[in-house]
Structure 1
Amino acid sequence: MANILIADDDPVFLEIISLALMIRGHEITTAVNGVGAIELAKQGKFDLIILDIHMPEKDGLETILALKDMNCTAPIVAVSAAEASGYGNYLGAAKTFGATATIRKPVNHCKLHDIIMELTGSVTEPRATAH
């Protein structure tokens, strides 16, 4: 089980990804922008950070740089939908800025979980869900 910070300004994305990862046994903390992610990273120890590239106040690229300046050692997974719409190579830039891995939105939950397992070495136990 990994302790994961997810920063994204889309509340639907946050909820869906959080639930998908919690079901797999991960502990999830969320932020709605890069400023919140940086503050939470200062307060807690995360095994992995998932960052959207396009967020208000401090975008994902600025957040990656700030986390690296703080000597944050948690692997960073950058996510973006802009790549699919042809608006530039933001995920490539994220790797240049220090992201460990990237994934395009819409995010395939299984692929994201595989990335998390690879980067954290976590073993998860699926949690039972109420019907």
Structure 2
Amino acid sequence: MKNVLVVDDDPSIRALIRLYLESAGYGVVEAADGREAMALLDGQAVDLVILDIFMPEMDGLEVLQVLRGHSTACKVMAISGGSAKIGMDLLGHATIFGADLVLEKPFGEATLLGKVRSLIGPSAG
């Protein structure tokens, strides 16, 4: 089974992504912020990190920098719904910092799963 770490400070977003991923056969681990994500990544390997950009404690861009400084083995999909509100293309910045793909919120199940499969393949493969 392929495992995905979902990092978002909004519990409803994490729950929705978990529902989509688990229904497709992926294993899911959750973190509420960047610090929690980094602690989880110290203890286990994951195939993909789905990473929100706007979070307290340690934001997604900071997590990306640390991840890419240590390893490029794990794929990263950055997600955000706030870039347009502040007039900055933070998802574009995420690709500069090493995100493999970006996805703007809101998104549907088919879109999310299509992007996940394009990065790490089907859940059982």
C-alpha change, 1:16 and 1:123, in structure 2 (3 Å) is closer
Deviation per CA, 1:71-112, whole angstroms, max 9, x where unpaired? Answer: 141110000001343531000000000000000001222111
Where does structure 1 differ by over 2 angstroms across 4 or more consecutive aligned residues? 83-87
Q: Secondary structure at the match of 1:99?
A: coil
1:85 alignment counterpart? 85
1:41 deviation in Å? Answer: 1.1
CA distance in 1, matches of 2:72, 2:27: 18
Contact kept? 1:34, 1:60, Cα under 8 Å: yes
* Structure 1 position 68, deviation (Å): 1.1
SS of the residue corresponding to residue 28 of structure 2 reads: strand
Structure 1 match to 2:8:
8
Distance in 1 separating the partners of 2:117 and 2:2: 9
Q: Deviations over 1:30-65 (max 9, x none)?
A: 000001111111111101000000000000000000
Q: How many residue pairs were aligned?
A: 125
Matches within 5 A, 1:88-127: 88-123=88-123
Matched with 1:23 is: 23
Give RMSD over aligned pairs: 1.6
**Distance (Å, rounded) in 2 between the aligned partners of 1:95 and 1:109:** 22
User: AA paired with 2:38?
Assistant: I
Q: Percent identity?
A: 35
Structure 2 match to 1:129: none
Rg bigger for which structure? Answer: 1
Greater share of helix residues, 1 or 2?
Answer: 2
Q: TM-score if structure 1 supplies the norm length?
A: 0.89
| In 1: Cα distance, 2:87 partner to 2:78 partner | 16
Instruction: Name structure 1 gaps, 5 residues minimum.
Output: 125-131
What's the TM-score once normalised by structure 2's chain length? 0.93
Q: Partners of 2:87 and 2:52 in 1: how far apart?
A: 15
